[in-house]
Amino acid sequence: MKNGSAYVSMRDITKIFGTVLATDGMNLDVEKGEIHALLGENGAGKSTLMNMLSGIYIPDSGHIFIDNQERKFSSPRDAINAGVGMIHQHFKLVDILTALENILLGQRKGFLLQKKEQEIEIRKIMEKFHLEVDLKKYVYEMSVGEKQNLEILKTLYRGARVLILDEPTAVLTPQETVVLFRIMRRMKEQGCAVIFISHKMNEVMEIADRVTVLRKGQTIDTLKKEETNPQELTELMVGRPIDLSIKRLARVTDERVLKVSNLRALNEEGIEVLKGIKFDLCAGEILGVAGIAGSGQKELCEALAGLYPIKEGEILFKGEDLAGKNPKEFISRGISMSFIPEDRLGMGLVASMDMVDNILLKQYHHTKGIFVQRKPAATKAKEIIKKLDVQTPGIDHPIKNLSGGNIQKVLLGRELDSQPELLITAYPVRGLDINTCLKIYDILNEEKKKGVAILYIAEDLDSLLGLCDRIMVISNGEITGIVDARKATKEQLGAMMLGKKEDDYAV
């Protein structure tokens, strides 16, 4: 059956999960030798569509053509046999094997016999795509960027000519992103079709040839990059006009709220994960924290919130030392601090409980008697829904069924409700669509205006540079510098994230 001329062609793809229409007759055409970006808010159907192209889900109806031939995939193996491979956000690698062993793992060909020949073949691919992977290195020794390259190499070796990259830059430093983009361009030159899923408008504008915008399970439009702009794409994505700029409000006071000095902590293996952290935070200030994932951000936040054991150091909150105290003591001492943890459903909220019980989590300590009082919590839940525009079927609906953005709003709403003087937020916009991001930035600015001191941990340098007053960079458990966000550049931050100490920053 012939259909058009595009190399990859998806026609009228529909997929229903239970009662949710995930993709509603979607269409997508991708050519050989192009980088095709898929843009869309959370829940627009990007991942569902790509999971069907890579054989993880089976479409309920519709057709997939590769090179003018209709295909039906029932497993990722079928897809890779047809030349379609997907690089997921979470790598599927075995830590205790070397790069080479990971590539050869699960192959039907002989494993030991032809290892030499296969290695030669792999090296050819590396050369062709300018991929640099140390084949003898163990995966557990690799950085995130190296692992990603390995995943790409593995997929190419298995014969993929259509590569799907699911938000590949989310875990990378700016420098690593540059390397990735170089590889992607090389794939394009070699005649591969590259599909790039991303939230980040600037990256899409930098690398993509064409952009397909998805919204609520439907294909809205496919545009050539040269013929469009971020504003137009965003509006297509959201479905209405929108202001993309992040506002930075002026600081109002210099009153110091938090003073951290010489903070040290060990992880379970006894390795030092916080190495003498030192910084100040003022009322009405947003202090950004930048760093490669796993540099100590999580431990820093949890140490401040009394959830991570501290070896030594001082955490002075309005003159009171919080070091070594637990959340229960914070509550009984009336410490006015709120913490938005990175893992919303794993730490901040209880996934299977409804909004009322999740709000109760913060309130029940303060009521008298042995029984919980759900009425005030229910009232509060309704207020939060109204104030933050939470999309939910009702306050008694388990929050795990809400979208990421709405879950975050519930968490933020609850935490801000206690009128904290210090707000610690870890990756508050991670995984959220642009519309919700902007809403969250507004909320943070709102708090700043009220004089709340905010510690803002994030991975997206654009938002850090746009929103914060100062940016503190953490690398391998150490502060490599604190810079003025108005003057800093991405390159400067990137270098500091890799460990280069800022000249005027003395530890």
Partner 1 sequence: MQFRLVKKPEITQRQYTVIILTAIALALLTSGLFILLLGLNPIQVYLAMLNGAFGSTYRLEQTIIVAIPLVIISLGIAVAFKMKFWNIGAEGQVIMGAFFASYLALNYQDAPKPLLLLGMLAAGFLGGGLWGLIPAFFKARWGTNETIVTLMMNYIALKWITYLQYGPWKDPNSMGFPKIPNFTANAILPNFLGVHLGWVIALILVVIMYFFMNHSKKGFEIAVLGESLNTARYAGVNIFRTILFSMFISGGICGLAGMIQASAVGNTLSVEVAGGVGYTAIITAWLGALKAPWIVLVSVLFAALVQGSSYIQSAFGISAASASLIQAMILFFVLGSDFFTKYKVVFGSEFLTRGKEARE
Contacts of 217 (CB under 8 A, 6+ apart): 21, 22, 23, 24, 26, 44, 45
Beta strands in 373-452 (DSSP E): 422-426
Distance of closest approach, residue 113 Cβ to partner 1, in angstroms: 24
Distance of closest approach, residue 149 Cβ to partner 1, in angstroms: 28
Which of 7, 73, 279, 441 lies at the binding interface for partner 1 (CB under 8 A)?
73
| 107 belongs to the binding site for partner 1 (CB under 8 A) | no
Which of 14, 27, 42, 81 lies at the binding interface for partner 1 (CB under 8 A)?
81
- Cβ contacts of 491-497, under 8 Å, gap ≥ 24: 491/174, 493/174, 493/290, 493/461, 493/464, 493/465, 494/173, 494/174, 494/175, 494/461, 496/290, 497/173, 497/174, 497/290, 497/291, 497/292, 497/295, 497/473
Which of 3, 4, 68, 72 lies at the binding interface for partner 1 (CB under 8 A)?
72
Give the SS3 label for residue 183. Answer: helix
Letters for 111-150 (x = contact with partner 1 by CB under 8 A, - = none) are ----------------------------------------
Q: Return d(Cα 333, Cα 335) in angstroms, integer.
A: 6
**CA 360, 362, 363, 368 torsion: positive or negative?**
positive
Closest CA to 288 of 111, 140, 137, 496: 496
Which of 92, 128, 182, 328 lies at the binding interface for partner 1 (CB under 8 A)?
328
| 305 belongs to the binding site for partner 1 (CB under 8 A) | yes
Distance of closest approach, residue 243 Cβ to partner 1, in angstroms: 35
- The residue range among 4-12, 216-224, 283-291, 370-378 that interacts with partner 1, by the rule CB under 8 A, is 370-378
Residues 339-368 binding partner 1 (CB under 8 A) are: 339, 341, 343, 345-353, 357, 360-362, 364-365
- The residue range among 15-23, 126-134, 313-321, 470-478 that interacts with partner 1, by the rule CB under 8 A, is 15-23
| 61 belongs to the binding site for partner 1 (CB under 8 A) | no
Which of 77, 124, 128, 386 lies at the binding interface for partner 1 (CB under 8 A)?
77
Distance of closest approach, residue 81 Cβ to partner 1, in angstroms: 5
Which of 1, 2, 5, 19 lies at the binding interface for partner 1 (CB under 8 A)?
19
Distance of closest approach, residue 353 Cβ to partner 1, in angstroms: 7
- What string of DSSP letters covers 111-152? SSTTHHHHHHHHHHHHHHHT----TTSBGGG--HHHHHHHHH
Contacts of 431 (CB under 8 A, 6+ apart): 42, 404
DSSP letter (8 states) at residue 398: B
What's the CA dihedral at 246, 252, 253, 258 to 10 degrees? -30
- The residue range among 74-82, 244-252, 275-283, 465-473 that interacts with partner 1, by the rule CB under 8 A, is 74-82
Q: Which is nearer to partner 1, 239 or 394 (CB)?
A: 394
Contact residues for partner 1, defined by CB under 8 A: 17-19, 69, 71-75, 77-79, 81-82, 305, 307, 326-328, 330-331, 339, 341, 343, 345-353, 357, 360-362, 364-365, 370-372
